[in-house]
Amino acid sequence: MSLIDLANPTRFLALSARVLPWLAAATAILFAIGLYLSALAPDDYQQGATVKIMFIHVPNAWLSMFVWGVMSIASLGTLVWRHPLADVAAKAAAPIGAAFTFLALLTGSLWGRPMWGTYWEWDARLTSVLILFLMYLGLMALWRAVEDPSRAARAAAVLTLVGALNLPIIKFSVDWWNTLHQPASVMRMGGSTLDKSFLIPLLVMAVAFTLLFVTLHLAAMRNEILRRRVRSLQMMQASRVAFSGDVSTGSRQENASTGAA
């Protein structure tokens, strides 16, 4: 099966039904391994045991940006190629991305209190991630506000691509401005500065969260395709009712005129 075949929603539904159980199982196994390695990780010499928050904070922070990246590519698919599944993919990803961003903010705040002495600081990194979270909520509101999915898709695609400008700001905010947040320590020129005892659990948890996103995204896309089918069938039902109403009104008028004659 080629990628072109997946453009057909019916084929996508069949493929997702086959793949989802395996993805869910792989995600659960990776989470079990990741949590086990996180529990075994030693305390940091400065941060103590709070370093364990990193194993969920960092994957969620990565995914908050990754999901918006996926939505941006899907938005290009909507605007440029008009791919039938593109806006389905973008719409399905938004609530999942919002949840990851919320977790990044929440766990970051819980990590910040013991390390920085504050839950929140209006610095560049924290503020730009908060803006990302608000953009996710805005997109979800837009999709709900516009009833016609194709009109909503185009407006949401433009908003998503404009919002993608925030991604490099988030990534480089720690280099461009003075912030409380530490600079990049894993994805940086010259390699990671993290010790293997922290890096390995972190990477396993990152892969586990990424697989969780892929699993939930496929399932949410499947739901969105079904929702659109429900909508089109309901419209067919409504037009049938309206047509049968017209026919019966017309036949009554015809009977009335025949009777009068």
Partner 1 sequence: MMSLGPYAPFIVTSYVAAAVVVVLLIGWIVLDHRNQTERLRELERSGISRRSGRSATGTP
Q: Tell me the C-alpha distance between 159 and 165, whole Å.
A: 10
Scanning the structure block, which residue is given the tokens 């009777």? Answer: 259
Q: Tell me the C-alpha distance between 103 and 154, whole Å.
A: 29
DSSP letter string, 181-231: SPPPSSSSTT---S-HHHHHHHHHHHHHHHHHHHHHHHHHHHHHHHHHHHH
50 is an interface residue for partner 1 by CB under 8 A: yes
Given candidates 23, 30, 37, 57, which one binds partner 1 under the rule CB under 8 A?
57
In 3D, which of 91, 66, 74 has the Cα closest to residue 212? 66
Contacts of partner 1 in 117-146 (CB under 8 A): none
225 is an interface residue for partner 1 by CB under 8 A: yes
Q: Tell me the C-alpha distance between 259 and 254, whole Å.
A: 9
| The two structure tokens encoding residue 132 | 């990302």
The number of residues in the chain equals: 261
Given candidates 19, 81, 114, 244, which one binds partner 1 under the rule CB under 8 A?
114
Binding segment for partner 1 (CB under 8 A), chosen from 76-84, 111-119, 182-190, 243-251, is 111-119
151 is an interface residue for partner 1 by CB under 8 A: no
Given candidates 74, 86, 90, 99, which one binds partner 1 under the rule CB under 8 A?
99
Binding segment for partner 1 (CB under 8 A), chosen from 41-49, 74-82, 140-148, 158-166, is 41-49
Binding segment for partner 1 (CB under 8 A), chosen from 61-69, 98-106, 134-142, 143-151, is 98-106
CB of 62 to partner 1, least distance (A): 14
Nearer to partner 1, 114 or 245 (CB): 114
Burial label for 154, CB within 10 Å (0-12, 13-18, 19+), is middle
236 is an interface residue for partner 1 by CB under 8 A: yes
DSSP 79: I
For residue 103, the Cα-to-chain-centroid distance in whole angstroms is 13
32 is an interface residue for partner 1 by CB under 8 A: no
Footprint of partner 1 (CB under 8 A) = 9-10, 13-14, 17, 39, 43, 48-50, 52-53, 56-57, 60, 95-96, 99, 102-103, 106-107, 110-111, 113-114, 212, 216, 219-220, 222-223, 225-227, 229-230, 232-234, 236-237, 240
